Amino acid sequence: MDTSSAVIDSLHPLETKVLTTFGASRPGTVLDSEQLAVVAELEPSQLSMAVEWLLAKALITIQSETVTPVVSLTKIGEEYYRGASPIERVLDAAREAAGTGKRLTIPDLQSQDGLDPSDVSKAVGRLKKEGVLLIVQGGCIETTGRPSPTVEALRTLLKQMHESSRALKDFSEDDRRVIEDYAVKRGNAKEPFRVDERVTRAFILSPSGASSAEQLLKQGVAEEVSQLTPEMLKDGSWRHKRFRKYTISLRAPRVGTGKKHPYREFLDTVKTKLVSMGFQEMRGSLVETEFWNMDALFMPQFHPARDIHDVYFVKRPTHASAMDESVLSHVAQVHQHGAGTGSTGWGYSFDAQRAKRLVLRSQGTAVSARTLAAAPSIPGKYFSIARCFRYDQVDATHATDFFQVEGIVLGEDINFRTLLGLLNLFAREVAQAKEVKFLPAYFPFTEPSVELHVRHPRLGWMELGGAGLFRPEVTLPLGVTVPVIAWGLGLDRMAMVALGIHDIRELFTDNLELIRATRGLF
Amino acid sequence: MPTITVYKNDFQSLLHQSPSANRTVSIEELEAWLMLTKGELKGYNPETGELRIELQDSNRPDLWCCEGIARQIRIKQQGKLSPYPFFSEQSQSQAQIIVKPGIEQVRPYVAACAARGYRVTTEGLAQLIQTQEKLAEIFGHKRKTVSIGIYQLPKITFPVTYELVKPDEARFTPLGMETVMTLSEILMVHPKGLEYGAILAGTGRLPILRDAANQPLSFPPIINSREIGEVQVGDDQLFVEVTGTDLPMVVLTLNIFASNLADRGATIEPIEVQYPRSTSLGKRVTTPLDLGKSKTIQIQKVEQALGQELGAQTVARALETYGYDVSAGKGSVKAKLPPYRQDLMHMMDVVEDVAMSLGYAEFTPVMPAQFTVGGLSDIEHTSDRARELMVGLGFQEIISNILGSPDSYSGRMRLEGTEWGGMVEVDNVMSLSFSCLRQWILPSLLRVEAASSRAFYPHRLFEAGDVVIPDASHELGSRTETVLGAVIVHASAHFSEIHSCVDVLFYYLGKEYSLETVQHPSFLEGRAGRIIVAGQPVGIIGELHPEVLDRWQIAMPVVAFDLNLSQLLS
């Protein structure tokens, strides 16, 4: 696309009209605003917009500027036009008096409605000077029967100028004298005419304007429209229309969006990964017994992590109303002396009442424990994205409630090496990491236990999760005889980096604009 | 679990057990060695030589000190643990502690030893105090099960007596004080008395350790005598006692201290404790005392658990270089823990020690090969479909805390004392802002709205998440259910607008519903309805009551619905 077509494409319909007006005239034609307005059939305001735009684009230039005195009607003049001028009324009154034989004096005229005394004096003076009126004895006014050139001229001028204002030089010398006599002057605003100095600009096409105009004429001007309408499509008229091109580089207006929460979206991708790896989702209760939250996981009732500082206790009711007593007693025996699991047990006296104490679930492993007791599939893989609660001071790295992603894998082929294999898979699938490190770790319910460290493509070395083989003290009393991997992934740091936040509390932020603005890079 | 401070020089001399052969250990080397102890280096100050190490294993209190970490590494370097003579030799002339009747009702057990020949250094003293604190605090449950006292041995005349006295019967100057105080004064005034006094609550008479000259050593588990129980740099004769409520734990704690002091060069002299009647370890118990028993470990089971063929020799060698006392048989090994450990409950504990001793890097990962089918729960599936639809309807998803305040979930919603206002509350409240579980979703969305009046309107928000509904008929006293809540907020928000959304939602979820007028305090009267499915209420829809909006300081009309997806499914 050459420059002149680019110029043409950007033209507003008003600009096109002005350019084509020039184009239709002989080359080098100079047109002033009035001529343009007439030929291009534009309102003065439209014309002045178009002219300013074309000047800014240097498609036309100003050839000359002329200052012309222009005569127009004042408000008073419009009133005179609709009714009659004072001088005409005075003359009419005198003629009427002559016809009826009534006496007419200046005070009589001055008392008539709408006639100003000074107007009356001026009118009488002028008519007398023209020899139209005579003042006879007793101050009576009589007509001579001669016509008044002033009255005639005024009537014509009022009519002409009511139609449009005109340049002073267009009038005859006599008319000009009448206009000057009856024009607004300093100290006398009550006159029908006003003489203003009007600047008239004349324009000529610039060379680029000339070529644009020529091209416009050549391609022919279809009617340009801004909006395609159903009617145009229906009657086919769109075929004869040009659609105005937009400046598409402008900033788009804002629109309200429906969208998932970025953190939830992150968890959704993890969920999808896990399902694709053959994991079945588990759900659990947010209120749980200490039994499922800890006892079933072989955490002794005197374990430091069970002190009041780590878990929220439920106020009402304090204890579960019922429990599977056989599982409860089996687990109790394992805690006490191992009960056939091959373990010595913890060697303390188990408090069955404490096992029923209700708490807010503090670890996702509680969900896994329930699954183990509910005849899981073997082989089987399970996961849950479980909301958990910790009795902790809230700060940038500790939230009162948070998601734990964890689960279990059951099977005859489960052992320490398949545990490492599973963690390798998580490293690759969840963190896109190729390098891993396995470190010894401690969890109360697994042995051996592993910490999984990975080299994340963006974050470098980080701890991705922990895992281990469930202790037989956990699995056997729940009726599971095959080895079981328990695993958990610590994804909050990954999520926070993906979402560009530094404070864990922002994962649950109440700042709507922040939620709307955040896009996850997963 | 505990984080401890260790001085690098001190650690190096313990590692090589010779101050002269003090080879520098690099930080990288140290981090690699720490894997043997489940320890993680948290910080290092090269100027002071201070290392901060976090120890993970709550069943290995022997590792919560510089001596224990160095020992575990040293054993690996030297190939085996050099046995501590004091666990096997019977000393002839023993000092004694006499336990008097009555103490069994309060704090029944005591164990003690003497240590001579180690001159206490600044770093050594810091470690003694730190180990004393960590063991009593974490392993001893804030001194309840175990507490420890260390004294200047020359000031004590044996035998020492452990007995109960009336609160005003004994008096001494406690550590940290200038004046003589009775036991009841210590409980009322001394910071340690105030901190730990609750352990002795309800006991009329209080425990005391006194020597043959009737000098008080200590008021366990509260405070030692300043006179005898203030060890200083330069002391080279020490007396260590441990009191508590669990005899094996008391003995183990003393064993750890004895081993630690022996590692620093002290000669340990056992002490005999005479109980008035027999304990699980007899009437006379001489400590330190090795309580470990040999356990026969089937190699095949170890191999099965680790997924790798190792053979008896390799397993035996791995355990020996981890501190076990081992004898290899055919297809099995007999293994006994060193006396400073008591954490062998199951064969699997040994399995982990084998793996750690060999190094986790020695095991090649293998993918679990068995086929399983993945999938979502029904409720998650329904919740995901509903979320997709809400996004399609132009709603922004929100996630919120479930733990919140009664004011948000009930008070500001005008639900206090109504059938809708019941919530599961927390007993041990830390902050009122986190003291109950939400019973519906709308307050979570209003929380966002209240904070976002400057955000571009309209606001269309939703959350699909768990709520907890009190239910006396349920064995847990409540039900966890998944609820979808949504609000539309703008200057001309109208009932029909949110009604249309519910309509679309039900259409695509394939459920029939109807609305039934309800008077609900959170909504404008005549503009609220129960959502009924199959004759059962599953949710609520309406225009929020201006009083509710006022309480949330929301200056925009809000229309909303709250739909229980769990009930919709059932």
A146 belongs to a structural domain? yes
Same-domain pairing of B242 and B202: yes
**Are A415 and B307 a contacting pair at CB < 8 A?**
yes
Average per-residue pLDDT for chain A: 88
B352 to chain A nearest CA, in Å?
5
From the list A315, A323, A421, the residue facing B426 with the nearest CB is A315
**Are A342 and B347 a contacting pair at CB < 8 A?**
yes
Rounded Cα distance, A10 and A15, in Å: 10
Same-domain pairing of B475 and B519: yes
* A13 contact B CB<8A: no
Give the domain extent around A41.
3-66+199-214
- Ramachandran sector of residue A298 (left: φ over 0; alpha: ψ -120 to 50; beta: rest): left
- Burial level of B69, CB count in 10 A (0-12/13-18/19+)? buried
With residues binned 3-state (H G I as helix, E B as strand, rest as coil), the percentages for chain A, rounded to 5, are: 45, 20, 35
A422 to chain B nearest CA, in Å?
6
Least confident of A2-6, A201-205, B135-139, B370-374: A2-6
pLDDT tens digits for range A185-224: 776 778 888 888 888 888 999 998 888 888 888 776 667 7
pLDDT at res. A222: 65
B97 belongs to a structural domain? yes
Same-domain pairing of A484 and A384: yes
- Judged by DSSP in three states, B213 sits in coil
Pairing of strands A484-489, B3-7: unpaired
Same-domain pairing of B203 and B96: yes
Rounded Cα distance, A19 and A23, in Å: 6
Rounded Cα distance, A460 and A453, in Å: 10
* A320 contact B CB<8A: yes
From the list B308, B400, B426, the residue facing A312 with the nearest CB is B426
CATH number at residue A361: 3.30.930.10
CATH number at residue B543: 3.30.930.10
Same-domain pairing of A469 and A502: yes
Q: Answer yes or no: is pLDDT of A29 > 90.
A: no
A258 to chain B nearest CA, in Å?
4
A344 belongs to a structural domain? yes
Same-domain pairing of B70 and B91: no
Last residue of a domain, one of B42, B76, B110: B76
Share above pLDDT 90 across residues of chain B, in percent, rounded to a whole number: 95
Answer for the pair B468, B509: CB distance below 8 angstroms, yes or no.
Answer: no
pLDDT tens digits for range B49-79: 999 999 999 899 999 999 999 999 999 999 9
Answer for the pair B376, A476: CB distance below 8 angstroms, yes or no.
Answer: no
Nearest chain B residue to A342 by CA distance is B346
Q: Which residue has the higher pLDDT, A192 or B161?
A: B161
Same-domain pairing of A128 and A13: no
From the list A338, A387, A515, the residue facing B398 with the nearest CB is A515
B367 belongs to a structural domain? no
List, in order, residues 6 or more apart from B14 with CB less than 8 Å away.
B66, B67, B70, B71, B74, B263, B264
Same-domain pairing of B115 and B66: no
A254 belongs to a structural domain? no
From the list A305, A409, A515, the residue facing B396 with the nearest CB is A515
Q: Quick one: average pLDDT of B235-254?
A: 97
From the list B138, B399, B476, the residue facing A358 with the nearest CB is B476
With residues binned 3-state (H G I as helix, E B as strand, rest as coil), the percentages for chain B, rounded to 5, are: 35, 30, 40
pLDDT tens digits for range A452-485: 999 988 888 989 999 999 999 999 999 999 999 9
pLDDT tens digits for range B435-475: 999 999 999 999 999 999 999 999 999 999 999 999 999 99
CATH number at residue A55: 1.10.10.10
Q: What is the ipTM of this complex?
A: 0.93
What dihedral do alpha carbons B485, B491, B497, B498 form, nearest 10°?
10
**Are A381 and B372 a contacting pair at CB < 8 A?**
yes
* A471 contact B CB<8A: yes
B369 belongs to a structural domain? no
Same-domain pairing of A409 and A509: yes
**Are A285 and B363 a contacting pair at CB < 8 A?**
no
Give the domain extent around B190.
85-287
Count of A–B CB contacts within 8 Å? 276
Q: Which residue has the higher pLDDT, B20 or B429?
A: B429
Cis peptide leading into residue B174 (ω within 30°)? no
Same-domain pairing of A503 and A358: yes
A359 belongs to a structural domain? yes
B372 belongs to a structural domain? no
Q: Give how many domains chain B has, as a whole number.
A: 4
Answer for the pair B257, B113: CB distance below 8 angstroms, yes or no.
Answer: yes
From the list A288, A338, A442, the residue facing B58 with the nearest CB is A442
Same-domain pairing of A279 and A342: yes
Same-domain pairing of B268 and B406: no
Same-domain pairing of A270 and A371: yes
Tokens representing B189 are 């005034």
**Helices B122-134 and B8-16: angle between axes, nearest 10 degrees:** 90
- Judged by DSSP in three states, A33 sits in helix
Sign for the pseudo-dihedral over CA of B231, B236, B242, B248: positive
A238 belongs to a structural domain? no
Nearest chain B residue to A450 by CA distance is B360
pLDDT at res. B22: 63
Least confident of A91-100, B262-271, B438-447: A91-100
Q: How many CA atoms lie within 13 A of B238 on its CB side?
A: 31
pLDDT tens digits for range A395-428: 888 888 999 999 999 999 999 999 999 999 999 9
Q: Quick one: average pLDDT of A122-126?
A: 85
From the list A264, A285, A485, the residue facing B397 with the nearest CB is A264
Last residue of a domain, one of B336, B361, B386: B361
Answer for the pair A290, A308: CB distance below 8 angstroms, yes or no.
Answer: no
Nearest to B403 by CA among A11, A359, A174: A359
B267 belongs to a structural domain? yes
Nearest chain B residue to A391 by CA distance is B430
- From chain B, pick out residues whose CB is under 8 angstroms from the CB of A307: 141
From the list A261, A307, A417, the residue facing B307 with the nearest CB is A417
Q: Quick one: average pLDDT of A511-518?
A: 93
B14 to chain A nearest CA, in Å?
23
Nearest chain B residue to A291 by CA distance is B476
User: For A398, phi and psi rounded to 5 degrees?
Assistant: -125, 125
Same-domain pairing of B304 and B281: no
B69 to chain A nearest CA, in Å?
15
Tokens representing A75 are 């408000």
pLDDT at res. A46: 86
Same-domain pairing of B491 and B386: yes
B387 belongs to a structural domain? yes
B452 to chain A nearest CA, in Å?
6
pLDDT at res. B91: 64
Alpha helix positions (H), B359-432: 378-392, 406
B373 belongs to a structural domain? no
B117 pLDDT band, cuts 50/70/90, is: very high
Nearest to A135 by CA among A108, A117, A100: A108
B212 to chain A nearest CA, in Å?
35
Same-domain pairing of B192 and B308: no
A253 belongs to a structural domain? no
Same-domain pairing of B454 and B545: yes
A320 to chain B nearest CA, in Å?
5
Q: Quick one: average pLDDT of A166-174?
A: 85
Same-domain pairing of B181 and B304: no
User: For B231, phi and psi rounded to 5 degrees?
Assistant: -75, 140
pLDDT at res. A122: 84
Same-domain pairing of A30 and A86: no
A244 belongs to a structural domain? no
**Are B478 and A508 a contacting pair at CB < 8 A?**
no
Rounded Cα distance, B203 and B184, in Å: 12
Nearest chain B residue to A381 by CA distance is B372
Helix/strand/coil (H, E, C) string of B474-515?
CCCCEEEEEEEEEEEECCCCCHHHHHHHHHHHHHHHCCCCEE
**Are A415 and B35 a contacting pair at CB < 8 A?**
no
A105 belongs to a structural domain? yes
B58 belongs to a structural domain? yes
Last residue of a domain, one of A214, A247, A271: A214
Nearest chain B residue to A302 by CA distance is B141
Hey, what amino acid is at A279? F
A309 pLDDT band, cuts 50/70/90, is: low
pLDDT tens digits for range A332-361: 999 999 999 999 999 899 999 999 999 999
CATH number at residue B41: 3.30.56.10
Same-domain pairing of B259 and B299: no
Last residue of a domain, one of B335, B361, B387: B361
Of chain A residues 176-235, which have a CB less than 8 A from chain B? none
Q: Give how many domains chain A has, as a whole number.
A: 3
Same-domain pairing of A366 and A479: yes
**Helices B122-134 and B247-263: angle between axes, nearest 10 degrees:** 170
Q: Quick one: average pLDDT of B247-262?
A: 97
Q: Answer yes or no: is pLDDT of B20 > 60.
A: no
Same-domain pairing of A131 and A26: no
In B373-470 the beta strands, taken as DSSP E runs, fall at: 396-397, 403-404, 436-437, 459-470
Identify any residues that bridge with A440 across adjacent strands, giving them in sequence order.
A450
pLDDT at res. A1: 44
pLDDT tens digits for range B308-362: 999 999 999 999 999 999 998 889 999 999 999 999 999 999 999 999 999 999 9
Same-domain pairing of A395 and A373: yes
Same-domain pairing of A409 and A492: yes
